[in-house]
Chains A and B, each alone.
Chain A
């Protein structure tokens, strides 16, 4: 797809010797024996299976829990690169929260004509129930994951914003735990910023966003759709590490104007609910009436300001790919500053000029549905045949508003351990951000996803992608 010689490798750049951030690691690696490392790599897989770090595949039998492959070569980011990224991420997250508040209140950005109205009004992720609502402490998205890709030494792009329910943070934590167990000596040689505070920070951050009338000792809980959800392990993991209850819809009911959970001693009120249930399933009275996963009446309690729901209902609008294309404008509109993080250049097919360009370059562009996720309905130009392009062009012309297009990026590579030693593979990065009333915290690290097949740009775990531990070096 992308010629390897034009690709930036994070260990060696475009040359052969390791860049400064990888020097210490490379020196250690060169002193190790390949077959020992291969064995360690198999141990790691065993460790993951035994601790139950698996994901379920929908429709599969319970026994079919799958592992996401783990690669033992860390992805290393220098302190300097990280501080630059962090500033950009903080700015973007602040803007996203301001944007969400605005579109559910005065809609200044629409009045100013910076975003077309129909992009919001006709968007299925926009919840009219949230208009005029005041989430406690004005926070809409408490937990954010910003997907970032790199193409050169100083070129970082945001690929996607995950303001609704970013998942994968348990892998960030377990990957680090695994590395600490397998290679303790590496961590005494190389000083890596810790990520293990994430659950404590998450709990603090959630507690700080509790409704105003809560005392210091507020009750936080994690809401999961249940055992059969693909991310159940993560839900349990986070509740466990925060030391809070993991609840399901069937544990909850409304009592005395509060959402309460059924305990062995009776019903106990909840102040903050970190929900991992989609908007449409949250409350059968307000949304999908068939939902058994939510709590009837919770929206009423929420709108009365008596519970914090994280992330707030209606946050998903910020993840929309058409909205994404306006993100530089959004950042500027709310912060008064130029966006520090770049967007991937995006053609909005709703605009005639852009559409014409996209139709002419279908062989090199990636075309995505604006409301899509998980790669469904996506056209990948360089991998397409002439017939597929003709067919896709017809679809595109029929409903241009449904699509955006982006260039195929030459994602950076980081080596993985193969049978024959190190070999470069394409990666992306999802750092995790916590928003509380007084500060934004970006955990130093994140989830690095890696395409395990040579030359592949697809890092999704459902399509053969794996993960790596992500190291941010101390100064």
Chain B
């Protein structure tokens, strides 16, 4: 397998995941704007921060304005993380590695691209936004489904999965990073319930508002939510879930190639921190530090994978 192919698959799936995450963030911001009288602008500000494009936004706009933020996140070519840019990048990578993916996976990503190109030709009206956002999520699930149903479980597949889960771990950690102050005991008294709007946005942006209700009886307390997003291995967008998937795929690569590399050590450290940790200790030692470390370590792992497996010369 070519290093360039590993590169293409890894980034194809990172960008596919990113498009879905960005769509969720837009959905969250939009929803808050509809149901709340106040706090809408702060919400868009933190959405931009979570997507790590706030600086970029202010380079093009002076005012924080819902319609502009939505357009910027949805279809702006100046924003490499906009849904349209992400899907275009995912597809470009898919074309680069056309021989490494099945016709079904290619068909699904190509379909998604063609659909969005049409749907995002012009700014999207508020009325059309909900349907569009849910279609974006469905399309991304279609690609994932085609990948699951048709790809060989070999090293190619491992690089697809690594891209998916590194991006996802990064995204969930960012949500926590931007919102950590909401979860801090100093602001909401220990044991007290969070302002509904806050926990709703956090859970909504990982598509976990319903799941949380069934898992922890839905007590919207800071610890409960933080635990759900960090340590709950049942929750498919939690740090624990994403990290354990990364560890599994790293392990497969070690077995297939018969060689252990630096990136394996990094991956082991990442999963060990979660497996040996618990929410009490995280709160004691500082949620913010924990998340910062996690973000730094996933970035380091990503870079190490790229060099260990010769993505580029």
Contacts and interface: CB of A to CB of B under 8 A. Distances in A.
Interface of A: 49-52, 62-63, 227, 232-233, 236-237, 239-240, 245-248, 250-251, 261-266
Give 10 nearest A-B pairs by CB, closest first: A236-B98, A240-B99, A264-B309, A239-B99, A262-B3, A246-B99, A264-B6, A264-B1, A52-B110, A262-B310
Contacts of B6: 264
A262 B2 CA distance: 6
A264 B257 contact: yes
A227 B92 contact: yes
Contacts of A236: 95, 98-99
A264 B250 CA distance: 13
A227 B8 CA distance: 12
B117 interface: yes
Given A246-B98, A263-B1, A264-B2, 18 more contacts: A50-B110, A50-B111, A51-B107, A52-B95, A52-B98, A52-B106, A232-B95, A233-B98, A236-B95, A239-B99, A245-B2, A262-B3, A262-B4, A263-B2, A263-B3, A264-B1, A264-B3, A264-B257
B15 to A, nearest CB: 15
A263 B6 CA distance: 9
Contacts of B313: 250, 262
B200 interface: no
Interface residues of B, number: 25
Nearest to B4: A251
Judged by DSSP, the binding face of A is: mixed
A261 B106 contact: no
A89 to B, nearest CB: 30
Interface of B: 1-6, 88, 92, 95-96, 98-99, 103, 106-107, 110-111, 114, 117, 155, 257, 259, 309-310, 313
21 contacts: A49-B114, A50-B111, A51-B103, A51-B110, A52-B98, A52-B107, A62-B92, A227-B95, A227-B96, A248-B4, A250-B4, A261-B2, A262-B3, A262-B4, A262-B313, A263-B1, A263-B3, A264-B1, A264-B309, A265-B257, A265-B259
A250 B96 CA distance: 13
Given A227-B95, A264-B309, A264-B310, A247 B2 contact: yes
Nearest to A221: B2
A50 B107 contact: yes
A265 B88 CA distance: 29
Nearest to B106: A52
A266 B92 CA distance: 25
A227 B110 CA distance: 15
B41 to A, nearest CB: 34
Contacts of A264: 1-3, 6, 155, 257, 309-310
Nearest to A242: B99
Contacts of B98: 52, 233, 236-237, 240, 246
B270 to A, nearest CB: 21
Contacts of B117: 63
Nearest to B107: A50
A236 B8 CA distance: 14
B110 A251 contact: no
Nearest to A52: B110
A251 B107 CA distance: 26
A383 to B, nearest CB: 38
Given A62-B92, A236-B98, A248-B4, A266 B310 contact: yes
